[in-house]
Amino acid sequence: MLLALVVVSIALWSSGCAVDLSFPPGFLFGSATSAYQVEGAWNVSDKGESIWDRFTHSQSGNEDGSTGDVATDSYHQWERDMEVAANLSLDYYRFSLSWTRILPNGFANYISEDGKRYYNQLIDGLLAKGIQPVVTIYHWDLPQRLQDLGGWTNPYITDWFADYADVVFSLFGDRVKTWITINEPMLFCDGAYTNTFHLAPGVVDREGVYLCGKNAMVAHGKAYRVYQKKYKAQYNGKLSLSNQLVWYEASTEEDEVWLDIAQQYSYGRFSHPIYSKEGGWPPVIEDHMRNKSSSEGFHQSRLPEFTDEEKELVKGTFDFYAINHYTSRAVRKRRPGEPHGGFPLTGAPDLDLLFERRPDWTEGNEWLYIYPEGLRRMLGWLRDQYGDIPILITENGFSTAEDSLEDHDRVQYYRRYLEQVLLAIKEDGVNVIGYTAWSLIDNFEWMDGYKTKFGLCHVNFSDPLRTRTLRRSGRFYADVIKRRTLDLDSDYRNYEF
């Protein structure tokens, strides 16, 4: 195994003193999925085609030909998902809405009755079990109709997204009190438009990276303002967007000089416009991109500027910070002749930097290196940069290539990362309000298809009913939630749904 078997008693130490293993009162635990990864039913009723439908059905899709056409069939098996969530004793379940299941043609002029029915029953089913819905409005499955018009590189998408958000606020805002507007713009912009992760829409366009990034920031800002203006007084919900943050450290003392620009390029580019007092891009990134663009013969920076009006629109559009975190990297300057690597895991070509694994970090899989302290340091960095704002960890998890129910490595991953969350809270004073395990069940893992498993609950993809069976990690997580502590000694049993 990659990690030692789980131990039954742990002591946390900081400066030689044991730290209480219990979570503070009011701390929330959840788990998560996303629509395309679990729902299936890709062409049921009047649902429209998404970019992931098109991408996986085309020659540019996954090499193994896998798609989300059926996935875990949560469209039909949603009640089983509710059983899993209830047996884990979740405080909340984070799931996303399929844009094309609600607005089949991408525009707000036609709302699907079937889409409304499906998400109403999901939300009501959760509430009936005492589980709060945390709803992500956009988790990568853009309507293909809008992609044909330029997708996230077309500035009009900021209005299309705001219209979509307005619709879902009006449909579900009476029961949903926590919203994520957009999930991981860094990945669907940088990861997709550079083909780093082989993600939909599969368009490689160097300029598209930055157009997409800016439009995502403005789209989030407009959606937040819609809620603030039309729904806040009545429903009093809280909103943010979630960022995928890989913790960066300098490879050597000589590389410390590159660390700030790497962090601002990754974290600041999708945080500074919202959480800083000034708004707009981080100044160090604006300066770097302006100089680099000029050296390449461009008359303007390839990083599109925010107008003063756009800065004010986006600035302050948050009620908490939502962070997705899985892994860490060491940063160093690229040497002549070395490949540029792909952002955010192996390199940042526009910064001429490379990202690597430290020798003492455990290699979990081909990209997920295990460094629990990175999460604590990431949380501290956010507090130091943006102040004492509430932080909700909206994704953290560990993948394996095995179907085993005895996933000791995943148990150990969760235990070690949760230790660091406790240290961030109790030793560093970071205002972490909740933790979300990715994922509730095995699902379609984007470019990995069904080869990797993140689920607390195993899914039998050979069974037409997609039988769900709780793994050891699920039983461990349920025990943490019920007892609100990491001081555990329990004989976990299997459950099937």
Residue 208 lies in a domain: yes
In a domain, 2, yes or no: no
Host domain of residue 434: 20-483
Active-site residue, 256 included: no
Each residue's pLDDT tens digit, 395-427: 999 999 888 999 999 999 999 999 999 999 999
Contact 357, 363 (CB under 8 A): yes
On whether residue 377 sits in a domain, the answer given is yes
Question: Dihedral of CA 440/446/447/449: which sign?
Answer: positive
Task: Find, among 162, 245, 152, 261, the residue nearest to 201 by Cα.
Answer: 152
Helix (H) or strand (E) holding 437: strand 432-438
pLDDT values of the chain reduced to their tens digit, one per residue, 497 residues = 333 323 333 334 333 345 689 999 999 999 999 999 999 999 999 999 999 999 999 977 787 899 999 999 999 999 999 999 999 999 999 999 999 999 999 999 999 999 999 999 999 999 999 999 999 999 999 999 999 999 999 999 999 999 999 999 999 999 999 999 999 999 999 989 987 788 999 999 999 999 999 999 999 999 999 999 999 999 999 999 999 999 999 999 999 999 999 999 999 999 999 999 999 999 999 999 999 999 999 999 999 999 999 999 999 999 999 999 999 999 999 999 999 888 899 999 999 999 999 988 987 777 899 999 999 999 999 999 999 999 999 999 999 988 899 999 999 999 999 999 999 999 999 999 999 999 999 999 999 999 999 999 999 999 999 999 999 999 999 999 999 999 886 555 554 45
Measured CA to CA, the distance from residue 394 to residue 106 in angstroms comes to 26
Specify if 7 maps to a domain: no
The Cα 247–Cα 76 span in angstroms is 38
Q: What is the DSSP string of 444-457?
A: --GGGTTSSB--SE
Q: Is 264 among the domain residues? A: yes
DSSP state of 485: B
Which position among 39, 83, 184, 419 bears the catalytic label?
184
Two tokens at 475? 């039983």
Per the CB < 8 A criterion, the answer to whether 133 and 127 are in contact is yes
Question: How many domains is the chain built from?
Answer: 1
For residue 177, give both structure tokens: 């009190």
The token duo for 34 is 């996303």
**Known catalytic residue at 184:** yes
- DSSP-derived secondary structure for 456-481: SEEE-TTSTT--EEE-HHHHHHHHHH
Dihedral angle computed from the Cα positions of residues 363, 367, 373 and 375, in that order, rounded to the nearest 10 degrees: -160
Report the chain's terminal Cα–Cα distance, integer Å: 28
CATH at 147: 3.20.20.80
Contact 99, 53 (CB under 8 A): no
The separation between CA 166 and the C-alpha centre of its own chain, rounded to angstroms, equals: 22
Strand 12-14 with 17-19, pairing: antiparallel
Query: Could you tell me the sign of the dihedral formed by the alpha carbons of 450, 451, 452, 458, in that order?
Result: positive
Helix 206-230, helix 157-172: angle, nearest 10: 40
Answer positive or negative: Cα dihedral of 449, 451, 453, 457: positive
pLDDT digits (tens, 9 = 90+) for 260-284: 999 999 999 999 999 999 999 999 9
Distance CA 89, CA 31 (A): 10
Indicate whether 10 belongs to any domain. Answer: no
Q: How many C-beta neighbours within 10 Å does residue 276 have?
A: 19
- The span from the CA of 146 to the CA of 130, in Å, is 37
How many of the other CB atoms lie within 10 Å of CB of 482?
13
In angstroms, rounded to a whole number, what is the distance separating the alpha carbons of residues 424 and 226? 34
Any domain includes 8? no
Q: Which among 49, 395, 419, 445 is annotated as catalytic? A: 395
Beta bridge partners of 436: 30
Structure-token pair, residue 167? 């619709």
CA distance linking residue 392 with residue 225, whole number of Å = 21
